[in-house]
Structure 1
Amino acid sequence: MELKKVMRSVEILLSCMNEEDYSIISGSNIKTNTVIINQCSENSMNQININNNKYVKWINSTERGLSKSRNMAIHNSCADICLIADNDEKFDDDCEQKILKAYEDLPDADIIIFDLHNKPTKLKPKIYLPKRLEMLRVCSCQITFKRASIIDNKLIFDVKLGAGTGNGAGEENKFLLDCYDKGLKIYHVPEKIAVMTENESTWFTGFDADFFYKQGMSTRYILGFGLSCTYGLYYAISKHNQYKKDISIFGALKNILSGIFDNKLTKKI
């Protein structure tokens, strides 16, 4: 049976911390409906009207953790389609139109992964259904999804992972793997929708021993023992040019394997 094309609404779900004013709205070139979760020292909510009858739902929250922020944004969204975002990107003027067109062209899609202008991707430069392990090649700012698909399948961002947990990143990869394992249709569409900017990271402090330990710890949690060892070796080799000034390849691999074998994250209650 042919799936009908329907008009849909889009919202950006943007996570940030300690924003003191609303300048991030213009700074990110936000021109579509948006939910912003600003983790700070108070709990409050405000709605800000922007151009063309669009709005920003601004939520200040004392909760901490990037995954908690993502989940709160999903809960407070009322859109058909959501785009995950951070405070370090600037959206294309026609970002919303590109997203809507992709979902109209792929009506069976539950999730569509897009590209970014200045961030190379290892996904194939075509419209296709990526394999399971290709979910590890995706960053959060590429991810859009039908909100109903996520809610109906009780899918969330794992609160053990992400900035603010002290356990390293990878929350978006586990989210996509959970979606994949639930049987959701995940497409890659090689359409660029935003530019990454160079804001200071709230979690990345450099390629030190602790970074690689947490990389091993989170990878073990996401992939299990066997695959995490293989991926850990691949990661240490493939990222060598990025970290070689900070730590040797043997030091990186040693700490990744220590994180994998200690398995602290999986053992946490």
Structure 2
Amino acid sequence: MIKEFIKGDLEIVLSTMNRDSLDFLIPMFPFSHFSNFSILIVNQTQPDKLVVSNYPSIRIVNSFEKGLSKSRNTGIKNAKGKIVLIADDDEVFKEGFENTILEAYNKYPEAVSICFALEDFNGFLLKKYPSKTKLQLSFLDICSILSIEISFKKATFDQLNSMFDTNFGLGSPFMMGEEAIFLSDWKQQKQIVISVPKVIASHSRLSTDDKLNFKQRYYVQGAFLTRVSKHGYYKGVFLKLFFDLKQNKIKIKQLYAALKSANKGKIDFIQMKK
């Protein structure tokens, strides 16, 4: 089999804030010096606090915008690698992660985006992943994917120009859901997104969802479902209510407030788009 992608074709696009040195990269690559990898850092900062690189493999964009989705878009637009891996500044990569990613793209050349698996810092899988490669991801599959599990072919991104929706994600009006919107936009354009459940990095279990109360979560969910589904809004809300009740994430007495918050998110998103 002819390998389309080889070592050096992967570029890590990493979002961070207020850095003035590259020292934060050291614990992210415990098995090797970070300069052995191609990394593009988007540092959201102030004009008096910039980070610079003396390594040819490490490029920097000091950005004065705010918002995680804006950071992702800036990084992806400036990426030069054939394969882009989205990253945060608080994950720790596994030895051999680059080979894992490139081998997956060579094995599944039809895929334009491949999502991988993560562990927590105790070595346990961050969530329940498919037991084997999944070549057809459902909407529910996409909704559970984290941004730092996502990789994709840069050429396809350049062709489609499908950006992260800056209304969603940390620092935006709706604080979650940006990665699911990103992937669902690709699937709506008939692009092939697959899941290869091989671990590429470790990350904390704490997520944005854990930091929000149930009203805030449903407010975002209402906006998210309005964004990704023209006709499935109520189905999506009731499915989430059902699963949250089943998993004791909300109580029966909270149902009305959850629905009200979801509708508020829906209305606010529609008004924002106008």
Category of TM-score, reference length = shorter chain: 0.7 to 0.9
For residue 139 of structure 1, report the CA deviation from its aligned partner: 1.2
In the alignment, is the contact (CA less than 8 A) between 2:16 and 2:41 conserved in 1?
yes
SS at structure 2 position matched to 1:101: helix
Matched, 1:41 2:39: no
Q: Kindly tell me: are residues 200 and 59 of structure 1, through their superposed partners in 2, closer, same or farther at Cα, counting changes over 3 Å? A: farther
In the alignment, is the contact (CA less than 8 A) between 2:21 and 2:51 conserved in 1?
no
From 255, 262, 267, the equivalent of 1:263 is 267
Hey, what does 1:6 align to over in structure 2?
4
From 192, 201, 208, the equivalent of 2:199 is 192
Alignment of 1:74-223 (within 5 A): 74-117=76-119, 118-122=125-129, 124-133=130-139, 134-197=141-204, 205-223=211-229
State how far apart, in whole Å, the 2-side matches of 1:18 and 1:200 are.
21
SS at structure 2 position matched to 1:47: coil
SS at structure 2 position matched to 1:116: strand
Aligned amino acid, residue 3 of structure 2? K
Q: Kindly tell me: are residues 197 and 264 of structure 1, through their superposed partners in 2, closer, same or farther at Cα, counting changes over 3 Å? A: same
Hey, what does 2:122 align to over in structure 1?
none
Moved more, 247-256 or 187-196: 247-256
State how far apart, in whole Å, the 1-side matches of 2:22 and 2:62 are.
12
Moved more, 108-117 or 20-29: 20-29
For residue 267 of structure 1, report the CA deviation from its aligned partner: 2.8
State how far apart, in whole Å, the 2-side matches of 1:182 and 1:254 are.
31
C-alpha RMSD of the superposition: 2.7
For residue 6 of structure 1, report the CA deviation from its aligned partner: 2.0
For residue 252 of structure 1, report the CA deviation from its aligned partner: 5.6
Q: How many pairs were matched up?
A: 258
Unaligned runs of 5+ in 1: none
In the alignment, is the contact (CA less than 8 A) between 1:88 and 1:198 conserved in 2?
no
Aligned amino acid, residue 267 of structure 2? N
SS at structure 1 position matched to 2:232: helix
In the alignment, is the contact (CA less than 8 A) between 2:17 and 2:43 conserved in 1?
yes
Kindly, what percent of the aligned residue pairs are identical? 26
Q: TM-score, normalised by structure 2?
A: 0.83
In the alignment, is the contact (CA less than 8 A) between 2:18 and 2:50 conserved in 1?
no
State how far apart, in whole Å, the 2-side matches of 1:198 and 1:173 are.
18
Q: Kindly tell me: are residues 184 and 216 of structure 1, through their superposed partners in 2, closer, same or farther at Cα, counting changes over 3 Å? A: same
Unaligned runs of 5+ in 2: 120-124
State how far apart, in whole Å, the 1-side matches of 2:207 and 2:19 are.
13
Aligned amino acid, residue 92 of structure 2? K
Q: Kindly tell me: are residues 220 and 23 of structure 1, through their superposed partners in 2, closer, same or farther at Cα, counting changes over 3 Å? A: same
In the alignment, is the contact (CA less than 8 A) between 1:115 and 1:193 conserved in 2?
yes
State how far apart, in whole Å, the 1-side matches of 2:168 and 2:145 are.
16
For residue 235 of structure 1, report the CA deviation from its aligned partner: 2.2
State how far apart, in whole Å, the 2-side matches of 1:252 and 1:35 are.
43
Hey, what does 1:72 align to over in structure 2?
74
State how far apart, in whole Å, the 2-side matches of 1:20 and 1:44 are.
5
Q: TM-score, normalised by structure 1?
A: 0.84
Hey, what does 1:58 align to over in structure 2?
60
In the alignment, is the contact (CA less than 8 A) between 2:85 and 2:148 conserved in 1?
yes
